[in-house]
A = this chain, B = another copy of it.
């Protein structure tokens, strides 16, 4: 990315993500997402259009002062394979001074120019020593029916060894996270890192170390695989993936319809159900509407 592109990228946000993070209590996982989103933005460069969210979505809070958040959406430039990049930063103090819940997500969805997987990185921190980690390249086809898709994006990229297995081996505190939502469980690829890291009573420092150490390494590596093999390796502005050329028009339409359907279901089951528990009704509605718009492509 050129210096001017970097400047315009920063200038396009009403509030920078550094400022978003600075306005929330310090948390290792937020710093990690800061680094991940910065890296993605730098590598995607001019393939991302300026931010398009209104000021009251770029930064929002509850009337009672017990919750703040930020959502940013940048669409892909015309001709690129990027549909949108979505960042979500949520912080909500729990009633009675009983800690806080912090959710941070970085999502980059691709469009019909490629069949390559979307990027999903989500961190759900329910306390100082407990973190749910979801890192995946989300498949865009029915995997058992497409062994060559599995081979191309998941086996040949070494993703399993570099992400999933490495994380499980290096972080003994991590157990498989089992979402109560069967739909969410069904979205992930077989190499997804879907982990519940529990460091126990007084384990805040241990969790902090894991996030800054092993988790940061694995997450950056998964992002690197996605940037290199899925987002299109070309320079800024070159978003046309070689894989896009292989698809039939009908197949492409079916995939894009699947993207929309899956995205909308995800928003409804996940965010539309949970944000009202963290934020005032008006705030939650506004934020969910903005996220829904990104997934609907309108």
Contact = CB atoms under 8 A, between A and B. Distances in A.
Contacts of A165: 178
Contact of A145 (B176, B191, B258, B269): B258
A149 to B, nearest CB: 10
A-B residue pairs, 10 tightest by C-beta: A185-B190, A142-B142, A143-B186, A182-B190, A144-B262, A186-B190, A150-B182, A144-B187, A176-B176, A144-B186
A191 B183 contact: no
A186 B262 contact: no
A142 B258 contact: yes
Contacts of A143: 183, 186
A171 interface: no
Interface of A: 141-145, 147, 150, 154-155, 160, 164-165, 176, 178, 182-183, 185-187, 189-191, 258, 261-262, 265, 269
Given A145-B258, A176-B176, A183 B150 contact: yes
Given A176-B176, A262-B145, A191 B182 contact: yes
- Per assembly, the copies of the chain total 2
A265 B147 contact: yes
A222 to B, nearest CB: 15
Nearest to A179: B190
Chain A contact residues: over half helix, strand or loop, or mixed?
helix
Contacts of A190: 182, 185-186
17 contacts: A142-B142, A143-B183, A144-B183, A144-B187, A144-B258, A144-B262, A144-B265, A145-B258, A147-B183, A150-B182, A150-B183, A150-B186, A154-B182, A182-B190, A185-B190, A186-B189, A186-B190
A96 to B, nearest CB: 30
Contacts of A147: 183, 265, 269
A286 to B, nearest CB: 25
A143 to B, nearest CB: 4
A247 to B, nearest CB: 17
A190 B269 CA distance: 16
A146 to B, nearest CB: 9
A184 to B, nearest CB: 8
Contacts of A185: 190
A187 B142 CA distance: 10
A262 B146 CA distance: 9
A185 to B, nearest CB: 4
A142 B142 CA distance: 5
Contacts of A141: 142
Contacts of A145: 142, 258, 261-262
A150 B183 CA distance: 7
Nearest to A269: B147
Contacts of A176: 176
